[in-house]
Amino acid sequence: MTSETSSAAPADEPAAGHWIEVDDTAGGNPRRGQILEVLGSGAHLHYRVRWDEEHESLFYPDPQGGSIVHQRRPRGR
C-alpha cells in the first residue's frame, strides 16, 4: 500500500488532488470541489479549484470565516 500524501505539503494541508468542502458562513449549502493547483504561500495561499458545479475558479480561504474540510474523495459519489 502506498501513501497518497505529497511531499510538497504537510498531510494536514490541502494539496492538489484533494477534495475540499467549504462551509458557507451565511448558512447556505457548502461548496465542494477538487484542488487542481496550490498557489502562493503563507498568508497568500490560494487554490485553483474545479467545483461540483462544473466550473473552475481561484479560491482564497478567508481566515475570519468559513472553514475548509479536505478529503480524498467527495461525499456521496
User: SS3 string of 16-63?
Assistant: CCCEEEECCCCCCCCEEEEEEEEECCHHHCEEEEEECCCCEEEECCCC
Residue 69 has pLDDT above 70, yes or no: no
Is residue 60 one of the residues assigned to a domain?
yes
In this prediction, what percent of the chain has a pLDDT beyond 70? Answer: 65
In this prediction, what percent of the chain has a pLDDT beyond 90? Answer: 23
- Count of domains forming the chain: 1
The range of the structural domain enclosing residue 66 comes to 19-71
Is residue 47 one of the residues assigned to a domain?
yes
Is residue 76 one of the residues assigned to a domain?
no
Is residue 77 one of the residues assigned to a domain?
no
* 23-47 residue pLDDT tens: 777 778 888 899 999 999 888 889 9
Is residue 11 one of the residues assigned to a domain?
no
